[in-house]
Structure 1
Amino acid sequence: MNAAGLVKAMVGAFVVGVVFGGATAGANALSHRFADLESASYTVGGWSYAEVLAVVMDSGWAWAGLAVAAGWLVTRAENGAPGMLVRGAAAGALSLLVAVAAYAFGETIDSGGALSSFVGNEQFVWWVAGLLFGAPLGAVGACAHRAGVVGLLARLTVPVGAAVQMVLIPPGRNEVITAIGQGVVGVAAAVSIVFVVIRFLRSPRRSSEAAGAPAS
């Protein structure tokens, strides 16, 4: 990939991070507007579509999935190219850094705080986490293009991670929201896993059929 292609790829990772961070902050803001926390019954068992959306988007697996998606996005046209893992890692880290900034900016606007104060100590902690985890997750996204077991494991990282988190550390303000979030993510993760595995199992058959086809 030349310099222009690299710049274009990083711009793509930047845009993906901005969109995800801003959308997550927006989902949280929307969920707060629908939550009637002054009602005891709503606090215990109430829910809204906005709250479920916020639970899904603002989960750890979704942020990890952002870095994986960014790594996949910037390397989708260069399978096996030299430096592919490095570019995927850079894209994963960049997407998380930008997403944290966009999220903090959106939260500051929603809370009515001064725009000059949207960067605080908490953001620095998440930026460090973005660097530490974004790079390896972005490299995983780059590996998702590969054939074989490595590619299979890379493609399963996000759905398996989502399923595990929703079982071990389920998010949600109350049990109802938690249960709905677990159901939505669990079904999506199961469908994704089945799709990835079936496609992986069918890929050798397609390769052998192509190799055995007579030349025209």
Structure 2
Amino acid sequence: MKITLGGLAAGVGFGAGTSLINALSSPYGELGMPLVGTVWGKAAKVLSLLMDAGWSWAALAVVVGWLAGTWARGALVGALTLFAATGAYYVTDAFVWGAGTDMVWWWVVGLPLGLGLGVVGAAIRRPGVIGFLAALTVPVGAAAQMVVLPPRPHFTVTPAIILAEVIVWTAAALGAGWAAYRFWVASRATEAA
């Protein structure tokens, strides 16, 4: 029950936070206009590029699935977290921008993805190849998104875009390195036993 409520709270916080950061990073909205050219506006742009990416939403479901512990709880909490994040994102968007919503469509997409990603998160706890592959899911997903759909909302490459890309590539490399190290240590322990 605690992990379910925690997942819902994490989802609401992440979804609302992502929408708010997007509004703060945009020079076209009431919230973002005063921040144009300031360090806060630039920081909001980097955060927006990081948070409003598919891999970061996937990482949210994987993390809560990992915290849930079992595959069944991981699936449930992963789906509920993405459901809550999507609802909070679009409610905040409607409040901040007066924007329309694709919420129902993203709920339909997010439900099976949340179930699967929650299971992946719970599988990280498993030793061996299954845990190793599960631990690689977010780093490989982030790297794949950087290749296929990098965070470049326009043709001009800005320092914020470069910084966001460096952060993602660094985090993906560190995450993959952690997964490989963990797998290597577990393999050595199994061989020694």
Q: Is the 8 Å Cα contact of residues 172 and 181 (structure 1) preserved in structure 2?
A: no
Q: Alpha carbon RMSD of aligned pairs, Å?
A: 1.9
CA contact (8 A) 1:94 1:134 kept: yes
SS at match of 1:165: helix
**C-alpha offsets along residues 1-41 of structure 1, whole Å, 9 cap, x if unaligned?**
xxxxxx222112111111111211121122121347xxxxx
Question: Which of 38, 55, 61 is residue 61 of structure 1 equivalent to?
Answer: 55
Q: Deviations over 1:102-131 (max 9, x none)?
A: 1112212212x4xxxx8x651000110111
- Tell whether 2:153 aligns with 1:173: yes
Q: How many residues align?
A: 180
Give the alignment partner of residue 110 of structure 2, picking from 119, 124, 130: 130
- Alpha carbons 1:100, 1:127 under 8 Å: kept: yes
Give the corresponding residue for 2:76: 90
Note the residue ranges of structure 1 that are not aligned, 5 or more in a row.
1-6, 37-46, 76-83, 212-216
Whether the 8 Å CA contact 1:24–1:58 is kept in 2: the answer is yes
1:71 alignment counterpart: 65
Q: Which runs of no fewer than 5 residues in structure 2 stay unpaired?
A: 27-31
Q: In structure 2, what is the equivalent of residue 104 of structure 1? A: 90
Within the alignment, does 1:192 sit opposite 2:182 as a pair? Answer: no
* Separation of aligned partners in 2, 1:73 and 1:64: 14
Which of 129, 133, 141 is the aligned partner of 1:153? 133
Structure 1 letter corresponding to 2:144:
V
- Aligned-partner Cα distance in 2 for 1:138–1:87: 8
Identity between Structure 1 and Structure 2 (%): 42
2:29 match: none
SS at match of 1:202: helix
- Give the ranges of 4+ consecutive aligned residues of structure 1 lying more than 4 Å apart after TM superposition: none
Label 1:167 to 1:35 Cα distance change in 2 as closer, same or farther (>3 A): farther
1:190-216 CA-partner distances (Å, limit 9, x unpaired): 11111221121122334555x4xxxxx
The answer to which of 170-179 and 155-164 deviates more is 170-179
Distance in 2 (CA, whole Å) between partners of 1:180 and 1:166 is 13
Of residues 3, 8, 20, the one that matches 1:9 is 3
Q: Residues 121 and 53 (structure 1 numbering): CA distance in 2 closer, same or farther, change over 3 Å? A: closer
Letter in 2 for 1:64: A
- Within the candidate set 7, 18, 21, 2:15 is matched to 21
Q: Secondary structure at the match of 2:102?
A: helix
**Superimposed CA distance per residue, residues 128-176 of structure 1 (whole angstroms, 9 cap, x where no aligned partner):** 0111211111111110100000000001100110011011111233322
Q: Distance in 2 between matches of 1:167 and 1:208?
A: 37
How far did 1:96 drift? 0.4
